[in-house]
Structure 1
Amino acid sequence: MSALPPLTSIRAFEAVARHLSFTRAAEELGMTQAAVSYQIRILEERVGAPLFLRRPRQIALSETGARLAPDVTKAFDTLRETFADSRGLVDGMLSISSVPTFASHWLAANIGLFQLANPEIAVRVEASPHLVDFGTEEFDVAIRATSRLQDGLVWNLLLKAEFAPMLSPRLVEEYQVRDPADLLRVPQITPDDPWLYAWLELAGVSVPPTPDRPFSRLGSQNLEAAAAIAGRGVAMVTPAFYADDVASGRLVQPFDITGWDGHGYYLTYPEARRNSPKIKAFRDWIVPATEGLRSSQGRSE
């Protein structure tokens, strides 16, 4: 199989053949007229025949050029359509990586509203604690719980990761939880949870030493809240995520005191892509949509 001529030369030929003008082809390609003429000469040398007939103030395709032009134009039309279709698929799919707690307690219940407002955008959500590398992974945006805002990314605060103790109504009565210190008598789902000790200090309770016996860690708010609902103990969770559980009586937040250590749930994406239409559409939807979560906060002492 013989090698193709340089693609730059083929591209220049296609443009000149379409416009029948070196000047207009040069403008389209962002090249000088001399550079276009040079590329055509390279192609003519490879073909072994003139491709254009130079006439005063106009050019015309030679016999060889006229035979080549339709197939070359068709090939470039196919490439244009292929890349246009690919661009449409990329622009029409929004890939979101979200920490599991936010994904399960807010995003899953509300993402359908975004799709109703933006029917031209399909959505793929992956719930994972994994930190996305936008340079190597095919995600458009991520929702992360962090206090360290990395350079090169845009960070939109969705809500502060406040924390407070929650437990089942049965345990509230069983252990007669009336004051913050009463929580020390209740089993702790994660006994070494730093949120627990920070909250106790905030509530003016002397902090007991960390237990030195072995214990289990569930590792996520989702699992800890599920254990609390099941009556296994006190869980330190973000109240904004569990308003429905409190309203339904599955959980109780016995005290209004909430703590905050600087962590927040953020929508983040590369600065270079901040004007991508699908990212802008999602940002312009989710920031106002989470306003209710943020407005319920700010009660920390």
Structure 2
Amino acid sequence: MSYRLPSLALLRTFEAAARHLSFKRAAAEVCVTPAAVSQQIRALEDWLGVPLFHRMTRRLVLTAQGEAMLPKLREGFECIAAAIELSRQPGAGLLQLTAPPSFASYWLVPRLPAFAAAHPGIELRLASTAGAIERRGAVAVLDTFAEDPRAPASELAIIYGHGDHPGFVAERILVPDYLPVCTPALAGGAHPLRTPADLAHQVLIHDETLYDEG
């Protein structure tokens, strides 16, 4: 039977946005930006010819069409997930791991071949997302793990942050080192940089978006 359906990616994005009633939380879950979520929802609404959300100043509300669509769509995703599980080899293990992009690229990915050789029965799914970096005012990636009933049981995240996540077991694995950097001209300028105390004469640039360990 042939079905006339919109893109599965659009439907997945709508389901996440409708469940969270937040484009930001949906973006963290599907690993795109909130702007991309908004564009995908618009594309789905254009395809359907009906609005799915009332966009309020500080919140989202499902329209009658969105409310009617959500439970059936969720049921459909559950059926797809069940069908996929039936096709998997008995006893095959699934490990879903989320990590910051830079950590995944430079540290984690080069070690994956050795992990796969040592654990051939484990299927590893790696999601590289900036949501694994805790920022002021941002949604922690673990929030989506806790609220998504379809998340695999074996779900891990490597997060840059404070590690205080109720309901999860957190273990510190690395402590970052911070080094001041500057141009050679600044180092030998009017106030040469020879000791840490010399930094008091300089204007320091701080990244206020990241979690502050101090």
TM value normalised by structure 1? 0.31
As a proportion of its length, which structure holds more strand? 1
Give the number of the structure whose alpha-carbon radius of gyration is greater.
1
TM value normalised by structure 2? 0.43
